[in-house]
Structure 1
Amino acid sequence: MPLVLPNGTAPQAAAGQPADRRHLLSLTDLSDDDLYALVRRSCDYARDAVPLTGPLTGKVVGTYFRTTSTRTRTAFSVAALRLGAQVVAYGPGDLQENTGESADDTGRVLGLMLDGLVARTSASAGELRAIAAWDTMSVVNAMTEDEHPTQGITDLSAMLEAFGKLEGLRVLYVGEGNNTAAALALALTRYAGAELHLRTPAGYGLPEATMRRAREYAAAHGALIEERHDMDVLPADVDVVYTARWQTTGTSKADPEWRTVFAPFQVNAALMARCPSATFLHDLPAHRGEEVTAEVLDGDRSIAFRQAAHKLYGAMAVLEWCLA
């Protein structure tokens, strides 16, 4: 049944725009071809291989961040401007949600005025799906509690630049099975021969639903994903060692002793010595001395800050794909 507004009319897209929109709410919504195209396009932007012709001229993109963000918020704001769009920014205290308006009503109203909305919430992606269902503007998930899809595109773009291919790449992820790890699992397993080895503390692994879908992708593409909750056994050699901050943005841990549980999963010189050919990645922000030592993060095998630059290129690819 088509959606209708309270006055009985169908919702309308912003002026001059089509009603059927592309959204990026989860990597599971993307076809393989769409995922591959977004990663390649991001890498093309990173190599300055795409002329900036203002494909989003005349568009207006809203950015709504309820929780803190340095890289993602800046990346999408700059990406929209570089592609020719204008940006309207909303912080956690700016919208009438604070006075009781529902997220659904807020999204319906924004969709009558904006061409796209980039949103970071502290909830699951279900809230964004309710907004996207109106199809009056494109909606981009800039991180929810269960997945960080644009981080997945960023990571694969950075790896593609560094290694020239993603097929057959071997990645060791160490730390919490958080939304960054979920996005990595849902993306890398769709490349032939790729391997993702997860080492997560017991009780802090990937959600079972995410692992199940990632295994399905791996089986279909000849890839591998496996998870252990100790550091005793590592793959013989890997191309990438990846970690993320132990305390994910907007979350807290019930166990007051959680740092003790996480301590064996620190990425340090000893771990990197066990992976002598590996390049180091981190989604940032980093807490030196917790999930990674300064020696590794700032060392010559780290491309973490080049990886951060790919946030911009990934945002450009996503906005272009959604709106151009």
Structure 2
Amino acid sequence: MSDLTDGDLYSIVARGATFAAGEHGLPLAGRTVGVYFRTTSTRTRTAFTTAALRLGAGVVQYAPGDLGSDTEESSADTGRVLAGMLDVLVARTAGDPAELRAWTGGGRMSVVNAMSAEEHPTQALTDLTTLLRQFGRIERLRLLYVGEGNNTATALVLAVTRFAGVELELRTPPGYGLPARVLATAVRQAQVYGATIVERHHMDRLPGDFDAIYTTRWRTTGTGGPDPHRRRVFAPFRVGQELWRASPHAVFLHDLPARRGEEVTAEVLDGPASIAFQQAENKLYSAMAVLDWCRSAQDGVLS
């Protein structure tokens, strides 16, 4: 998220909402987008592939292990080669984002972080697009995030704290909170932009009147291994219907995939408050906005 200026961030989110309204031509005609995922992906991979096609680009799909950097070629050398043939590479490594930067070929090719170990920035852009479409604004919304302080949560807090008046409450299990440096950055941003952020490690004395309640899987997709104690530690943080007693008008968000009965009850995920599947569809429109932003940056339209 730190690679985006305020203008970039606001523009991409607004553009995503515009694409959702069906307004687009073929701005990527004659360009080629590579799609490379080392780990599983249903929504993000499909969204970017479909987005590229809808905007007129050609698409090259890479399977895990296809690129030279997965053998003995350096990431920088792989990037130099790809940058001579592709305009954009959408990549999910679930590893060190430094590898993604090495693939830019010295800035000749746009590389989109479709999830690394530290951050899931395109998910945050999707979340903001979803909130904008739902409420007509992001400013002054009251948001509750329940669950692991994972890469989705990291990107979310680094994004929403750049909108004035947003109030973000995080409830994360002990030992599974946001990285300290991420929370510190988000707090500083909130002070600058007039937002507020609070993280607590229990579900007691939870305030109400939230506009949206958000959770994610108890184990981050594509990362980590099984923890035999995780279910016990996370159980009090399951999102159930009781959270709507104090926030009767809140919508429910989930980055999916979901496990009914673990991080969220089926009653909530499949209930009238849930917009989780509309949120998933918004990945397409947000991906279109990201790719169009890459094109604009390459053409020198952006400052």
TM over 0.5: yes
Aligned to 2:199: 227
2:273 matched to 1:315?
no
* Alignment equivalent of 1:239, drawn from 207, 211, 227: 211
Q: How far apart are 1:274 and its partner, in Å?
A: 3.5
Deviates most, 252-261 or 216-225: 252-261
2:110 matched to 1:138?
yes
Can you list the C-alpha shifts for 1:262-296, whole angstroms capped at 9, x where unaligned? Answer: 00000011223232221100011111111001110
2:35 matched to 1:44?
no
1:39-118 pair list within 5 angstroms = 39-48=13-22, 50=23, 52-118=24-90
Aligned to 1:284: 256
Q: Secondary structure at the match of 1:171?
A: strand
Aligned to 2:101: 129
Distance (whole Å) between structure 1 residues aligned to residue 254 and residue 152 of structure 2: 10
Query: 2:161 touches 2:195 (CA, 8 Å); kept in 1?
Result: yes
Q: How far apart are 1:97 and its partner, in Å?
A: 3.1
Q: Secondary structure at the match of 1:132?
A: coil
Q: Secondary structure at the match of 1:107?
A: helix
Q: CA RMSD in A?
A: 1.2
Distance (whole Å) between structure 1 residues aligned to residue 10 and residue 54 of structure 2: 23
Percent identity of the aligned residues?
A: 61
Aligned to 1:148: 120
The residue identity in structure 2 corresponding to 1:205 is: G
Distance (whole Å) between structure 2 residues aligned to residue 289 and residue 87 of structure 1: 38
* Alignment equivalent of 1:264, drawn from 236, 241, 254: 236
Query: 2:173 touches 2:201 (CA, 8 Å); kept in 1?
Result: yes
Change (3 A) 1:201 1:253: farther
Query: 2:65 touches 2:71 (CA, 8 Å); kept in 1?
Result: no
**Pairs aligned (count):** 296
Aligned to 1:32: 6
TM-score (norm 1): 0.89
2:178 matched to 1:199?
no
Unpaired stretches in structure 2, ≥5 consecutive residues: 297-303
Q: Secondary structure at the match of 2:36?
A: strand
The residue identity in structure 2 corresponding to 1:202 is: P
Q: How far apart are 1:91 and its partner, in Å?
A: 1.3
Aligned to 2:267: 295
Distance (whole Å) between structure 1 residues aligned to residue 108 and residue 35 of structure 2: 16
Can you list the C-alpha shifts for 1:153-193, whole angstroms capped at 9, x where unaligned? Answer: 10010011111111100000000001111111011111110
Q: How far apart are 1:133 and its partner, in Å?
A: 6.0
Q: Secondary structure at the match of 1:64?
A: strand
Query: 2:79 touches 2:105 (CA, 8 Å); kept in 1?
Result: no
Can you list the C-alpha shifts for 1:26-53, whole angstroms capped at 9, x where unaligned? Answer: x1111111111111000111122x2x32
Q: Secondary structure at the match of 1:29?
A: coil
State the 4+ residue runs in structure 1 displaced beyond 6 angstroms: none
Aligned to 1:275: 247
The residue identity in structure 1 corresponding to 2:161 is: T
The residue identity in structure 2 corresponding to 1:189 is: T
Can you list the C-alpha shifts for 1:112-145, whole angstroms capped at 9, x where unaligned? Answer: 1111100000212111122236112101000001
2:147 matched to 1:167?
no
Unpaired stretches in structure 1, ≥5 consecutive residues: 1-26
Deviates most, 300-309 or 209-218: 209-218
